[in-house]
Protein backbone atom coordinates (compact mmCIF):
# COMPACT_ATOMS: atom_id res chain seq x y z
CA UNK A 1 0.00 0.00 0.00
CA UNK A 2 1.26 3.50 -0.85
CA UNK A 3 1.90 5.78 2.10
CA UNK A 4 -1.06 7.67 3.46
CA UNK A 5 -1.01 11.47 3.29
CA UNK A 6 -2.09 13.57 6.26
CA UNK A 7 -2.89 17.28 6.06
CA UNK A 8 -1.01 18.33 9.12
CA UNK A 9 -0.57 21.23 11.54
CA UNK A 10 1.57 20.75 14.65
CA UNK A 11 -0.69 23.05 16.70
CA UNK A 12 -4.05 21.44 15.84
CA UNK A 13 -5.33 19.26 18.71
CA UNK A 14 -7.42 17.25 16.22
CA UNK A 15 -4.27 16.50 14.18
CA UNK A 16 -2.58 15.54 17.45
CA UNK A 17 -5.30 12.94 18.08
CA UNK A 18 -4.57 11.36 14.71
CA UNK A 19 -0.81 11.37 15.30
CA UNK A 20 -1.19 9.87 18.78
CA UNK A 21 -3.32 7.09 17.28
CA UNK A 22 -0.75 6.60 14.51
CA UNK A 23 2.09 6.34 17.04
CA UNK A 24 0.15 4.07 19.42
CA UNK A 25 -0.63 1.69 16.56
CA UNK A 26 2.78 1.78 14.84
CA UNK A 27 1.32 3.37 11.70
CA UNK A 28 3.24 6.64 11.88
CA UNK A 29 5.87 5.46 9.40
CA UNK A 30 3.16 4.81 6.82
CA UNK A 31 1.93 8.42 6.97
CA UNK A 32 3.44 11.34 5.06
CA UNK A 33 2.69 14.62 6.80
CA UNK A 34 1.80 17.55 4.51
CA UNK A 35 2.21 20.78 6.53
CA UNK A 36 -0.84 23.01 6.08
CA UNK A 37 -1.60 26.01 8.24
CA UNK A 38 -5.17 27.31 7.94
CA UNK A 39 -7.68 29.52 9.77
CA UNK A 40 -11.45 29.86 9.34
CA UNK A 41 -11.19 33.32 7.77
CA UNK A 42 -8.12 32.56 5.62
CA UNK A 43 -8.69 29.00 4.43
CA UNK A 44 -5.67 27.32 2.84
CA UNK A 45 -6.59 26.15 -0.71
CA UNK A 46 -4.51 22.98 -0.22
CA UNK A 47 -6.66 22.14 2.80
CA UNK A 48 -9.95 23.00 1.07
CA UNK A 49 -9.01 20.82 -1.93
CA UNK A 50 -9.06 17.78 0.38
CA UNK A 51 -11.82 18.83 2.79
CA UNK A 52 -14.56 21.26 1.73
CA UNK A 53 -14.97 22.19 5.40
CA UNK A 54 -11.47 23.74 5.21
CA UNK A 55 -10.15 21.93 8.26
CA UNK A 56 -7.20 19.78 9.19
CA UNK A 57 -6.74 16.87 9.60
CA UNK A 58 -7.70 15.04 6.43
CA UNK A 59 -6.17 11.73 5.36
CA UNK A 60 -5.72 10.38 1.85
CA UNK A 61 -5.65 6.59 1.79
CA UNK A 62 -6.81 3.85 -0.59
CA UNK A 63 -8.22 6.41 -3.02
CA UNK A 64 -10.37 8.01 -0.32
CA UNK A 65 -9.95 11.34 1.40
CA UNK A 66 -11.19 10.98 4.96
CA UNK A 67 -12.21 13.59 7.55
CA UNK A 68 -12.83 14.51 10.37
CA UNK A 69 -10.55 13.27 13.18
CA UNK A 70 -12.97 10.62 14.59
CA UNK A 71 -13.31 9.07 11.13
CA UNK A 72 -9.56 9.12 10.50
CA UNK A 73 -8.76 7.66 13.93
CA UNK A 74 -11.26 4.83 13.49
CA UNK A 75 -9.92 4.11 10.00
CA UNK A 76 -6.32 3.90 11.26
CA UNK A 77 -7.46 1.56 14.02
CA UNK A 78 -8.58 -0.95 11.35
CA UNK A 79 -5.11 -0.93 9.75
CA UNK A 80 -3.01 -2.55 12.48
CA UNK A 81 -3.02 -5.81 14.39
CA UNK A 82 -2.26 -4.56 17.89
CA UNK A 83 -4.63 -3.75 20.71
CA UNK A 84 -7.52 -1.68 19.36
CA UNK A 85 -8.22 1.88 20.54
CA UNK A 86 -11.87 1.59 19.45
CA UNK A 87 -13.58 -1.18 21.44
CA UNK A 88 -15.43 -3.41 18.97
CA UNK A 89 -18.92 -3.23 20.46
CA UNK A 90 -21.26 -2.82 23.38
CA UNK A 91 -21.01 -0.42 26.30
CA UNK A 92 -17.21 -0.26 26.11
CA UNK A 93 -17.43 1.02 22.53
CA UNK A 94 -20.13 3.61 23.17
CA UNK A 95 -18.49 4.85 26.35
CA UNK A 96 -15.22 5.40 24.45
CA UNK A 97 -17.04 7.14 21.58
CA UNK A 98 -18.94 9.36 24.04
CA UNK A 99 -15.66 10.26 25.77
CA UNK A 100 -14.21 11.15 22.38
CA UNK A 101 -17.23 13.42 21.74
CA UNK A 102 -16.73 15.02 25.17
CA UNK A 103 -13.05 15.77 24.55
CA UNK A 104 -13.73 16.96 21.00
CA UNK A 105 -16.58 19.13 22.30
CA UNK A 106 -14.26 20.73 24.86
CA UNK A 107 -11.85 21.43 22.00
CA UNK A 108 -14.58 22.86 19.76
CA UNK A 109 -15.48 25.32 22.53
CA UNK A 110 -11.81 26.17 23.16
CA UNK A 111 -11.23 26.85 19.45
CA UNK A 112 -14.29 29.13 19.34
CA UNK A 113 -12.82 31.12 22.24
CA UNK A 114 -9.49 31.35 20.40
CA UNK A 115 -11.20 32.55 17.22
CA UNK A 116 -13.20 35.10 19.22
CA UNK A 117 -10.00 36.54 20.69
CA UNK A 118 -7.69 36.29 17.67
CA UNK A 119 -9.86 36.72 14.55
CA UNK A 120 -12.07 39.63 15.66
CA UNK A 121 -11.25 43.22 16.46
CA UNK A 122 -12.10 44.07 20.03
CA UNK A 123 -15.48 45.81 19.38
CA UNK A 124 -16.78 42.68 17.61
CA UNK A 125 -16.06 40.36 20.53
CA UNK A 126 -19.00 39.10 22.55
CA UNK A 127 -18.41 38.53 26.26
CA UNK A 128 -21.58 36.41 26.45
CA UNK A 129 -20.34 34.12 23.66
CA UNK A 130 -16.88 33.90 25.25
CA UNK A 131 -18.34 33.08 28.66
CA UNK A 132 -20.73 30.49 27.22
CA UNK A 133 -17.83 28.62 25.60
CA UNK A 134 -15.72 28.84 28.77
CA UNK A 135 -18.65 27.40 30.72
CA UNK A 136 -18.77 24.42 28.35
CA UNK A 137 -15.04 23.88 28.92
CA UNK A 138 -15.53 24.03 32.70
CA UNK A 139 -18.49 21.65 32.64
CA UNK A 140 -16.63 19.24 30.38
CA UNK A 141 -13.66 19.27 32.79
CA UNK A 142 -16.02 18.55 35.71
CA UNK A 143 -17.39 15.53 33.85
CA UNK A 144 -13.90 14.31 32.94
CA UNK A 145 -12.90 14.65 36.62
CA UNK A 146 -15.84 12.39 37.57
CA UNK A 147 -14.61 9.81 35.04
CA UNK A 148 -10.89 10.06 35.87
CA UNK A 149 -11.00 6.97 38.10
CA UNK A 150 -12.30 4.86 35.18
CA UNK A 151 -9.43 5.73 32.80
CA UNK A 152 -7.51 2.54 33.47
CA UNK A 153 -5.99 -0.16 31.32
CA UNK A 154 -5.00 0.03 27.68
CA UNK A 155 -5.80 3.43 26.17
CA UNK A 156 -8.97 3.92 24.14
CA UNK A 157 -9.84 6.72 21.74
CA UNK A 158 -11.58 8.29 24.75
CA UNK A 159 -8.33 8.45 26.70
CA UNK A 160 -6.45 9.80 23.67
CA UNK A 161 -9.02 12.57 23.17
CA UNK A 162 -9.03 13.53 26.87
CA UNK A 163 -5.22 13.71 26.71
CA UNK A 164 -5.18 15.91 23.59
CA UNK A 165 -7.91 18.17 25.01
CA UNK A 166 -5.99 18.73 28.25
CA UNK A 167 -2.76 19.23 26.32
CA UNK A 168 -4.50 21.94 24.29
CA UNK A 169 -5.62 23.73 27.46
CA UNK A 170 -2.01 23.73 28.65
CA UNK A 171 -0.92 25.05 25.25
CA UNK A 172 -3.47 27.84 24.73
CA UNK A 173 -5.23 28.34 28.09
CA UNK A 174 -2.37 27.89 30.56
CA UNK A 175 -3.74 30.71 32.72
CA UNK A 176 -6.99 28.94 33.50
CA UNK A 177 -5.26 26.54 35.88
CA UNK A 178 -7.57 23.60 35.17
CA UNK A 179 -5.65 21.30 37.53
CA UNK A 180 -6.69 23.16 40.70
CA UNK A 181 -10.30 21.94 40.73
CA UNK A 182 -9.68 18.69 38.82
CA UNK A 183 -7.10 16.85 40.85
CA UNK A 184 -7.91 13.28 39.83
CA UNK A 185 -7.91 14.27 36.18
CA UNK A 186 -4.61 16.08 36.66
CA UNK A 187 -3.06 12.98 38.25
CA UNK A 188 -4.30 10.81 35.37
CA UNK A 189 -3.02 13.30 32.77
CA UNK A 190 0.41 13.55 34.38
CA UNK A 191 0.90 9.84 33.72
CA UNK A 192 -0.82 9.76 30.33
CA UNK A 193 1.31 12.66 29.06
CA UNK A 194 4.41 10.51 29.62
CA UNK A 195 3.42 8.06 26.88
CA UNK A 196 5.88 8.29 23.96
CA UNK A 197 2.96 9.09 21.60
CA UNK A 198 2.04 12.12 23.71
CA UNK A 199 5.62 13.29 24.25
CA UNK A 200 6.30 13.10 20.50
CA UNK A 201 3.31 15.32 19.68
CA UNK A 202 3.56 18.19 22.18
CA UNK A 203 2.70 21.38 20.25
CA UNK A 204 5.68 23.68 19.60
CA UNK A 205 5.93 26.76 21.82
CA UNK B 1 -35.49 -2.83 28.27
CA UNK B 2 -36.89 0.46 29.62
CA UNK B 3 -37.60 3.10 27.04
CA UNK B 4 -34.71 5.30 25.96
CA UNK B 5 -34.93 9.03 26.70
CA UNK B 6 -33.94 11.58 24.07
CA UNK B 7 -33.29 15.25 24.83
CA UNK B 8 -35.23 16.67 21.95
CA UNK B 9 -35.77 19.86 19.99
CA UNK B 10 -37.93 19.76 16.84
CA UNK B 11 -35.77 22.44 15.16
CA UNK B 12 -32.34 20.86 15.78
CA UNK B 13 -30.97 19.19 12.63
CA UNK B 14 -28.80 16.90 14.79
CA UNK B 15 -31.89 15.73 16.69
CA UNK B 16 -33.55 15.20 13.32
CA UNK B 17 -30.72 12.83 12.30
CA UNK B 18 -31.39 10.75 15.40
CA UNK B 19 -35.15 10.69 14.81
CA UNK B 20 -34.72 9.74 11.15
CA UNK B 21 -32.48 6.85 12.22
CA UNK B 22 -35.02 5.86 14.89
CA UNK B 23 -37.84 5.86 12.34
CA UNK B 24 -35.82 4.05 9.66
CA UNK B 25 -34.93 1.30 12.14
CA UNK B 26 -38.34 1.01 13.84
CA UNK B 27 -36.93 2.17 17.19
CA UNK B 28 -39.00 5.33 17.47
CA UNK B 29 -41.57 3.70 19.74
CA UNK B 30 -38.82 2.80 22.21
CA UNK B 31 -37.74 6.43 22.60
CA UNK B 32 -39.37 8.98 24.92
CA UNK B 33 -38.77 12.51 23.68
CA UNK B 34 -37.99 15.09 26.39
CA UNK B 35 -38.53 18.56 24.87
CA UNK B 36 -35.57 20.82 25.64
CA UNK B 37 -34.95 24.16 23.95
CA UNK B 38 -31.43 25.54 24.45
CA UNK B 39 -29.03 28.09 22.98
CA UNK B 40 -25.27 28.52 23.48
CA UNK B 41 -25.66 31.72 25.54
CA UNK B 42 -28.70 30.52 27.53
CA UNK B 43 -27.98 26.84 28.19
CA UNK B 44 -30.92 24.81 29.50
CA UNK B 45 -29.96 23.17 32.85
CA UNK B 46 -31.89 20.02 31.88
CA UNK B 47 -29.72 19.73 28.78
CA UNK B 48 -26.47 20.45 30.65
CA UNK B 49 -27.31 17.82 33.28
CA UNK B 50 -27.12 15.17 30.54
CA UNK B 51 -24.43 16.67 28.31
CA UNK B 52 -21.78 19.04 29.74
CA UNK B 53 -21.42 20.52 26.25
CA UNK B 54 -24.98 21.86 26.64
CA UNK B 55 -26.24 20.48 23.35
CA UNK B 56 -29.10 18.36 22.12
CA UNK B 57 -29.43 15.54 21.28
CA UNK B 58 -28.39 13.30 24.16
CA UNK B 59 -29.77 9.81 24.70
CA UNK B 60 -30.16 7.94 27.97
CA UNK B 61 -30.08 4.16 27.46
CA UNK B 62 -28.80 1.16 29.41
CA UNK B 63 -27.49 3.38 32.21
CA UNK B 64 -25.41 5.45 29.79
CA UNK B 65 -25.98 8.98 28.56
CA UNK B 66 -24.73 9.22 25.00
CA UNK B 67 -23.83 12.20 22.83
CA UNK B 68 -23.25 13.57 20.18
CA UNK B 69 -25.49 12.66 17.21
CA UNK B 70 -22.96 10.35 15.43
CA UNK B 71 -22.54 8.32 18.64
CA UNK B 72 -26.30 8.12 19.25
CA UNK B 73 -27.04 7.15 15.64
CA UNK B 74 -24.43 4.39 15.65
CA UNK B 75 -25.74 3.12 19.01
CA UNK B 76 -29.31 2.94 17.71
CA UNK B 77 -28.10 1.08 14.63
CA UNK B 78 -26.86 -1.75 16.92
CA UNK B 79 -30.33 -2.11 18.47
CA UNK B 80 -32.37 -3.39 15.54
CA UNK B 81 -32.24 -6.33 13.16
CA UNK B 82 -33.06 -4.59 9.89
CA UNK B 83 -30.74 -3.27 7.20
CA UNK B 84 -27.92 -1.32 8.87
CA UNK B 85 -27.38 2.39 8.24
CA UNK B 86 -23.72 2.11 9.29
CA UNK B 87 -21.89 -0.27 6.91
CA UNK B 88 -19.94 -2.78 9.03
CA UNK B 89 -16.48 -2.22 7.58
CA UNK B 90 -14.16 -1.29 4.78
CA UNK B 91 -14.51 1.50 2.25
CA UNK B 92 -18.32 1.48 2.45
CA UNK B 93 -18.14 2.22 6.18
CA UNK B 94 -15.55 4.99 5.92
CA UNK B 95 -17.25 6.61 2.96
CA UNK B 96 -20.53 6.74 4.91
CA UNK B 97 -18.77 8.11 8.02
CA UNK B 98 -16.99 10.75 5.93
CA UNK B 99 -20.29 11.76 4.34
CA UNK B 100 -21.78 12.08 7.81
CA UNK B 101 -18.85 14.35 8.80
CA UNK B 102 -19.42 16.41 5.63
CA UNK B 103 -23.13 16.91 6.35
CA UNK B 104 -22.49 17.59 10.04
CA UNK B 105 -19.75 20.04 9.09
CA UNK B 106 -22.13 21.90 6.78
CA UNK B 107 -24.56 22.08 9.70
CA UNK B 108 -21.88 23.28 12.15
CA UNK B 109 -21.09 26.15 9.76
CA UNK B 110 -24.79 26.93 9.26
CA UNK B 111 -25.39 27.03 13.02
CA UNK B 112 -22.43 29.39 13.48
CA UNK B 113 -23.99 31.72 10.90
CA UNK B 114 -27.33 31.55 12.74
CA UNK B 115 -25.66 32.34 16.06
CA UNK B 116 -23.78 35.24 14.48
CA UNK B 117 -27.04 36.73 13.21
CA UNK B 118 -29.34 35.96 16.16
CA UNK B 119 -27.18 36.00 19.31
CA UNK B 120 -25.08 39.12 18.64
CA UNK B 121 -26.05 42.75 18.39
CA UNK B 122 -25.26 44.18 14.98
CA UNK B 123 -21.95 45.93 15.90
CA UNK B 124 -20.51 42.62 17.19
CA UNK B 125 -21.14 40.74 13.96
CA UNK B 126 -18.15 39.92 11.78
CA UNK B 127 -18.72 39.90 8.03
CA UNK B 128 -15.47 37.95 7.53
CA UNK B 129 -16.61 35.21 9.95
CA UNK B 130 -20.07 35.09 8.33
CA UNK B 131 -18.58 34.85 4.85
CA UNK B 132 -16.08 32.15 5.90
CA UNK B 133 -18.88 29.96 7.23
CA UNK B 134 -21.02 30.56 4.12
CA UNK B 135 -18.04 29.55 1.97
CA UNK B 136 -17.80 26.26 3.88
CA UNK B 137 -21.48 25.65 3.22
CA UNK B 138 -21.04 26.39 -0.48
CA UNK B 139 -17.96 24.15 -0.77
CA UNK B 140 -19.72 21.34 1.11
CA UNK B 141 -22.69 21.62 -1.29
CA UNK B 142 -20.32 21.44 -4.28
CA UNK B 143 -18.81 18.23 -2.88
CA UNK B 144 -22.26 16.75 -2.17
CA UNK B 145 -23.28 17.59 -5.75
CA UNK B 146 -20.26 15.61 -7.01
CA UNK B 147 -21.36 12.64 -4.91
CA UNK B 148 -25.09 12.86 -5.70
CA UNK B 149 -24.86 10.14 -8.35
CA UNK B 150 -23.48 7.68 -5.79
CA UNK B 151 -26.36 8.07 -3.32
CA UNK B 152 -28.17 4.96 -4.46
CA UNK B 153 -29.56 1.90 -2.74
CA UNK B 154 -30.54 1.49 0.89
CA UNK B 155 -29.87 4.67 2.90
CA UNK B 156 -26.72 4.98 5.00
CA UNK B 157 -25.95 7.44 7.78
CA UNK B 158 -24.29 9.49 5.04
CA UNK B 159 -27.57 9.80 3.12
CA UNK B 160 -29.47 10.62 6.32
CA UNK B 161 -27.02 13.38 7.22
CA UNK B 162 -27.07 14.88 3.72
CA UNK B 163 -30.87 14.87 3.89
CA UNK B 164 -31.00 16.58 7.29
CA UNK B 165 -28.37 19.12 6.24
CA UNK B 166 -30.32 20.09 3.11
CA UNK B 167 -33.56 20.17 5.09
CA UNK B 168 -31.93 22.62 7.49
CA UNK B 169 -30.89 24.90 4.63
CA UNK B 170 -34.51 24.92 3.43
CA UNK B 171 -35.65 25.68 7.00
CA UNK B 172 -33.21 28.48 7.93
CA UNK B 173 -31.48 29.52 4.68
CA UNK B 174 -34.32 29.32 2.18
CA UNK B 175 -33.09 32.49 0.47
CA UNK B 176 -29.77 31.00 -0.57
CA UNK B 177 -31.41 28.90 -3.30
CA UNK B 178 -28.96 25.99 -3.02
CA UNK B 179 -30.79 23.98 -5.69
CA UNK B 180 -29.86 26.33 -8.53
CA UNK B 181 -26.20 25.28 -8.75
CA UNK B 182 -26.66 21.77 -7.35
CA UNK B 183 -29.19 20.16 -9.62
CA UNK B 184 -28.23 16.50 -9.15
CA UNK B 185 -28.25 16.93 -5.40
CA UNK B 186 -31.63 18.67 -5.60
CA UNK B 187 -33.05 15.77 -7.64
CA UNK B 188 -31.72 13.26 -5.11
CA UNK B 189 -33.10 15.28 -2.18
CA UNK B 190 -36.54 15.63 -3.74
CA UNK B 191 -36.87 11.85 -3.65
CA UNK B 192 -35.14 11.32 -0.31
CA UNK B 193 -37.36 13.92 1.39
CA UNK B 194 -40.37 11.75 0.51
CA UNK B 195 -39.28 8.97 2.87
CA UNK B 196 -41.74 8.66 5.76
CA UNK B 197 -38.84 9.22 8.23
CA UNK B 198 -38.07 12.56 6.59
CA UNK B 199 -41.69 13.65 6.23
CA UNK B 200 -42.35 12.89 9.91
CA UNK B 201 -39.43 15.08 11.04
CA UNK B 202 -39.82 18.27 9.00
CA UNK B 203 -39.09 21.18 11.38
CA UNK B 204 -42.16 23.23 12.37
CA UNK B 205 -42.55 26.57 10.64
Chain A contact set for B52 (CB, 8 A): 102, 105, 136, 139-140, 142-143
Number of domains chain B contains: 2
C-alpha span between B13 and A118 (Å, rounded):
29
Give me the DSSP letters along A78-129.
Answer: TS-SS--SS--SHHHHHHHHHHHHHHHHHHHHHHHHHHHHHSS-GGG--HHH
Smallest Cα distance from B184 to chain A, Å: 18
Q: Could you report the per-residue pLDDT of B178-203, keeping only the tens digit for each?
A: 999 999 999 999 999 999 999 999 99
- B187 and B116 within one domain: yes
Of A47, A77, A107, the position where a domain reaches its end is A77
* Predicted local confidence at residue A174, as pLDDT: 96
Q: Flag if A94 and B64 touch (Cβ within 8 Å).
A: yes
ipTM attached to this prediction: 0.98
Q: Flag if B55 and A105 touch (Cβ within 8 Å).
A: yes
* Strand partners of residue A141: none
Q: Flag if A55 and B105 touch (Cβ within 8 Å).
A: yes
- B185 and B102 within one domain: yes
**Count of all residues that appear for chain A in the document:** 205
- Tell me the mean pLDDT in the region B12-36: 97
pLDDT reading at B1 higher than 80 = no
Sheet bearing B64-66, strands edge to edge: B31-35, B4-8, B59-61, B64-66
- B27 and B56 within one domain: yes
Determine, yes or no, domain membership for B182.
Answer: yes
C-alpha span between B160 and B171 (Å, rounded):
16
C-alpha span between A24 and A26 (Å, rounded):
6
Contact of B86 with A109, CB cutoff 8 Å? no
DSSP 8-state class, residue B149: G
Percent of chain B past pLDDT 70, that is, above it, reads 100
Cα distance from N-terminal residue to C-terminal residue, chain A: 35
pLDDT reading at B117 higher than 90 = yes
Domain with A132 in it: 90-199
* Predicted local confidence at residue A63, as pLDDT: 96
The overall average pLDDT reported for chain B is 97
Residues of chain A with pLDDT under 50: none
User: Which of B100, B59, B57, B94 shows the shortest CA–CA distance to B76?
Assistant: B59
Chain A contact set for B142 (CB, 8 A): 52
Q: Could you report the per-residue pLDDT of B99-111, keeping only the tens digit for each?
A: 999 999 999 999 9
Q: Flag if A52 and B119 touch (Cβ within 8 Å).
A: no
Q: From residue A155, how far is each of A96, A149, B60, B203 by CA, in Å?
A: 10, 13, 25, 41
- A143 and A58 within one domain: no
Amino acid sequence: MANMKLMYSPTSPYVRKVMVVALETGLDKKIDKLPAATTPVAPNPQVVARNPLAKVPSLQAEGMTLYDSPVICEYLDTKHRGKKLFPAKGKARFNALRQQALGDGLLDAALLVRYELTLRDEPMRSQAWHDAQMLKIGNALDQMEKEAGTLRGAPTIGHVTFGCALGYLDFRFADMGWRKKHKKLAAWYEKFAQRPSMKATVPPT
